[in-house]
Chains A and B, each alone.
Chain A
Amino acid sequence: MKEETILSVRDLVVKFELRGRSLTAIRGASLDLHEGETLAIVGESGSGKSVFTKTFIGMLDQNGRVQSGSIDFEGVDLARYSTEEEWLRIRGKKISMVFQDPMTALNPLRRVGMQIQEVIEMHQGMSGKQAEHAVVDMLDRVGIPDPAMRARQYPHEFSGGMRQRVVIAIAMACKPRILICDEPTTALDVTIQAQILQLIKSLQNDFGFTTVYITHDLGVVANVADRVAVMYAGQIVESGSAEEVFYDPRHPYTWALLSSLPQLGVKGKPLFSISGTPPNLFNEVKGDAFAPRNPRALKIDFELQPPMFQVSPTHSAATWLLDPRAPALEPPAAIQSMRAKYAGGGK
């Protein structure tokens, strides 16, 4: 699976001004997105995953700005976009976003059909009957029964899962090239979650767009992702195919994250949890941001920020452990057993 790069982020730095102080939310993150793939960005709350993807459609809050770095998409650098007119060429048309809570994502006083029609009229220049047909067609595509009647209803007449389908229909209305799903299933019942993930998958097969999931639900990741990027304190610390990151993780943070999964715990023993808190991003972070919470941290981790080391052509991680001079450190037992299972089952 060697696809073309559709979006390429290099050394992105995003700052927020908060009460006169400056917070660096994204500290030089780099990422490539391949055509047609499903990438999951995982990380704890506040790691910057939402902010990172919001820069792709220029939806940072008013006090935030991209300080440096580039976002290459279709030959233009989105990081340089500043006016609304520029962003309107991208938002909803080329790159769409689905938000977490479908209960509040729709205007309660506007008919569902109209809310989809707005997008179609704006971006595709359709109007009247033609646009209405496109709306009904779109509702049908996202699996809403009796779409012509449903289009005339208001959001409160839809269930949570159905509303998320409508939100997806809005995002898909202009056949974007990239769909960003910001925790699309967090607010939904478990049974509905699977349906929504299935729906996005099948739409992806039909339309051939690229999907980015933002989530801290590793279950979702395992279900849908081709590739995984792990984010910590505003940086991508490890990225690779789903198998590589799950079964052969290299960054201590990824180790810790996976070890804290209940499924990997040993019965009778307390569940592993990462001690400490993420660094305060108001201050400058020295060395590896995860070092203070990492019991196996090396001396250099506190001094110098590790570069990205390539593990395989598709797998890379930012940790000094991958430096040839580093001591051979064993990952935690849970990770080792995973690795063994994978090696045994795979070969």
Chain B
Amino acid sequence: MFIYMLKRLSQSIVTLFIVVTTVFLLMRLLPVEGYLGDRYDKLSVEQREAMLQKMGLLDPWYVQVGTFYGKLAKGDLGTSAIYRKDVPVLEVIAPRVPYSVRFGLVAMAFSLVAGLAMGVHMARYKGRFWDRAWTGYIVLINAVPSAVYLLFIQLYGTDLFKIPLLFDKYKFSSWVLPTISMALGGIAGYAMWMRRFMVDELNKDYIKLARAKGMPSSAIMVKHVMRNAYVPMAQYLPAAILATVSGSIYIESLYSIPGMGGLLVDVIQRQDNPMVQALVLIFSSVGILGLFLGDVLMAVFDPRIKFVKSEGAR
């Protein structure tokens, strides 16, 4: 187990290196004019050269990569070049993370509880009224563009409950609607997968034996079906938790929440290289770590998974 984890971890680092380097190089393919922004026309050729030189953009690409990793090794992610000029990157990012994570975690807890309950309920009454009703909800959430119902919730929700339209961190009530909005999709997703995994289990032979040995259906549901359906669900959990760091683009902009959502898109458009690199590094570390933890969690739940290649028939 330990050796496997070490192996996986080193693989993860290689993956991370490839992702970060690729993005770094892609950013260098963008036209240099973009770095100068609105002032481009007002600058003389010499001024432009000097500015690009200062940003280190005129060095050969391998020198630039080398400099980037050299600084990174010392823990220096650089300063923002355009987005908030000369402010250290981490200082730009740090205050935004708590908003996204807080919203994300609450929304996730909410969607897990509601989604799993819904999925269990659907599997229990498979093919009957509640199964169909909740399926309707899932289809609706997935088929209707989220902008439509999210806007609807914001406009009518705030009006109905007399809540401020935009987010105000000092007002608890303004936390409610964004959280619910974020959870809606999650609920549908978790419900759908939970139902599916439970129905998979229900059709297995060991359920037949469990019935034949005289277990009541309720005990079979709890001890066998639900327990086994959690295993494939658990795999995606760490990734989902960590992904809350990146925030939600649409909902955060809808309620003016100063979170991480949209930040990456923003800085890419404005060609703020240090910001892009820092964000890519953070997001991909988080994603890779999530997958890794998912595998570990799965192994904890499923005794059949062994981390060493074993000789044998099965």
A residues with a Cβ closer than 8 A to B are 57, 59, 84, 87-88, 90-93, 96-97, 99, 101, 104-110, 118-119, 122-123, 154, 156, 167, 170-171, 173-174
Given contacts A91-B214, A118-B215, contact A99 B209 (CB under 8 A): yes
Number of A-B contacts (CB under 8 A): 79
10 interchain pairs (CB within 8 A)?
A: A59-B211, A59-B212, A92-B215, A99-B205, A99-B212, A104-B206, A110-B224, A118-B223, A167-B209, A171-B212
A170 touches which of B204, B213, B223 (Cβ 8 Å): B213
CA distance A122 to B217 in the complex (A): 13
Min distance, Cβ A144 to any Cβ of chain B, angstroms: 17
- The segment from B46-54, B91-99, B247-255, B297-305 that touches chain A is B297-305
| Interface flags, B188-223, vs A, CB<8A=1, else 0 | 000000000000000011101111111111010001
Given contacts A104-B206, A156-B314, contact A109 B214 (CB under 8 A): no
8 A-B pairs with least C-beta separation: A92-B214, A91-B214, A92-B213, A104-B205, A97-B212, A154-B303, A107-B206, A105-B209
Given contacts A109-B302, A118-B223, contact A91 B206 (CB under 8 A): no
B214 in contact with A88 (CB, 8 Å): yes
Q: Which residue of A lies closest to B210 (CB)?
A: A107
B214 in contact with A108 (CB, 8 Å): no
A93 touches which of B214, B216, B217 (Cβ 8 Å): B214
A96 in contact with B217 (CB, 8 Å): no
CA distance A90 to B214 in the complex (A): 8
Given contacts A57-B212, A91-B211, A96-B213, contact A105 B206 (CB under 8 A): yes
B214 in contact with A106 (CB, 8 Å): no
A122 in contact with B215 (CB, 8 Å): yes
Interface size classification for chain B: 20 to 34
Min distance, Cβ A152 to any Cβ of chain B, angstroms: 11
CA distance A57 to B213 in the complex (A): 10
Min distance, Cβ B267 to any Cβ of chain A, angstroms: 45
- Chain A residues near B213 (CB, 8 Å)? 91-92, 96, 118-119, 170-171, 173
- Known pairs A105-B208, A106-B209; list 19 more (Cβ under 8 Å): A57-B212, A84-B217, A88-B216, A91-B212, A92-B213, A96-B213, A104-B204, A105-B205, A105-B206, A106-B206, A107-B206, A108-B228, A109-B227, A109-B231, A110-B224, A118-B213, A119-B214, A167-B209, A171-B212
CA distance A254 to B304 in the complex (A): 46
A170 in contact with B209 (CB, 8 Å): yes
B215 in contact with A96 (CB, 8 Å): no
- Chain A residues near B223 (CB, 8 Å)? 110, 118
Min distance, Cβ B231 to any Cβ of chain A, angstroms: 7
Given contacts A101-B205, A107-B206, A170-B209, contact A84 B216 (CB under 8 A): yes
B208 in contact with A99 (CB, 8 Å): yes
CA distance A259 to B25 in the complex (A): 79
| Interface flags, B223-259, vs A, CB<8A=1, else 0 | 1100110010000000000000000000000000000
- Chain A residues near B209 (CB, 8 Å)? 97, 99, 105-106, 167, 170
Min distance, Cβ A17 to any Cβ of chain B, angstroms: 14
Q: Which residue of B lies closest to A101 (CB)?
A: B205
| Interface flags, B287-309, vs A, CB<8A=1, else 0 | 00000000000000111100000
- Chain B residues near A90 (CB, 8 Å)? 214
B214 touches which of A123, A156, A167 (Cβ 8 Å): A123
Min distance, Cβ B72 to any Cβ of chain A, angstroms: 43
| Interface flags, B9-25, vs A, CB<8A=1, else 0 | 00000000000000000
A109 in contact with B215 (CB, 8 Å): no
Min distance, Cβ B312 to any Cβ of chain A, angstroms: 10
Min distance, Cβ B301 to any Cβ of chain A, angstroms: 7
Min distance, Cβ A226 to any Cβ of chain B, angstroms: 24
- Chain A residues near B302 (CB, 8 Å)? 108-109
B304 in contact with A156 (CB, 8 Å): yes
The residue among B211, B223, B228 with the most chain A CB atoms within 10 A of its own CB is B211
- Chain B residues near A123 (CB, 8 Å)? 214
- Chain B residues near A107 (CB, 8 Å)? 206, 210, 224, 228
- Chain A residues near B231 (CB, 8 Å)? 109
CA distance A106 to B312 in the complex (A): 21
- Chain B residues near A122 (CB, 8 Å)? 214-215, 219
B216 in contact with A156 (CB, 8 Å): no
- Chain A residues near B303 (CB, 8 Å)? 109, 154, 156
Q: Which residue of A lies closest to B231 (CB)?
A: A109
- Chain A residues near B224 (CB, 8 Å)? 107, 110
A154 in contact with B304 (CB, 8 Å): yes
